[in-house]
Amino acid sequence: MTARPVAGIICCTRTVGVEPAQAVMSRYVEATMAYGDVAALLVPSLPGRMRAAEVVGRLDGLMLTGSPSNLDPALYGEEIGDAPGPFDAARDGMTADLIKAMLDLGKPVFGICRGFQEINVAFGGTLRRDMAANPDLIAHHAPDDVDFNGMFDHTHDVALTPGGVLARAFGAEAAVVNSVHYQGVDRLGEGLAVEARAPDGVVEGFSATVNGAPVLAVQWHPEWKPAQNRQSQIFFEIFGRALRGAPLIVDTPGASV
């Protein structure tokens, strides 16, 4: 049996009962493994105990998941005393090092929600923190009184960039995506190409190539019930192709990305 490529999946610092724990929601792991057809290793957010350089050589690609925590605004140059949390400084530090170490080796990095934001900041971009309540924007998060499933039922359209990775992979000009985020891209990071925009113009997907390695990230949650959404499955299929060094998309004879 041929060994499958190995995806690193970042953990968050969470509390289980009264104890700190390294954790990632199973839906991220299962969707990545099932639709990417990859093996996986969970990477703890313990930068004081482990350096990214010690583990990236064992990984074929990196998946940065969503999380309830927000990035510290100081990471993108904003010293805000009352910035909304919760925060996860250990994940902030580990992820920043992982992104750099993976791309230095020319290995793929993909992101979802918080992971999307982490990549944008790693490329020198900034975030905004008003995505749910700004009257000039569409509501990017469901009302606070909905239940957990209701959060993911909150959706909006995104326009896909013609000729982009997602537009070609989905075979579509637009998509309907779930929207579960209070923060999002303000200034896009240098070298990132827009893959999707919300109706209010907010960037919801981007891509890049660094040292031959593909970078692809979305603000929405393709890991949520992917069995019911073909486009969500395709996102992870692209990831699996990237880890195998295959073209991300082959849509016409001789054409590849």
Tell me which residues are annotated as active site: 113, 221, 223
- The SS3 of residue 212 is coil
Beta-carbon count within 10 A of 155 CB: 14
Residue 257 CB partners (closer than 8 Å, separation 6+): 165, 168, 247, 248, 249
Residue 47 CB partners (closer than 8 Å, separation 6+): 90, 93, 94, 97
Beta-carbon count within 10 A of 246 CB: 12
Beta-carbon count within 10 A of 8 CB: 22
- To which H or E segment does residue 239 belong? helix 230-243
CA-based angle 23:131:214, to the nearest 5? 60
In single-letter form, the type of residue at position 247 comes to: P
How would DSSP label each residue in 3-53? PPPEEEEE-EEEEETTEEEEE--HHHHHHHHHHHT-EEEEE---TTT--GG
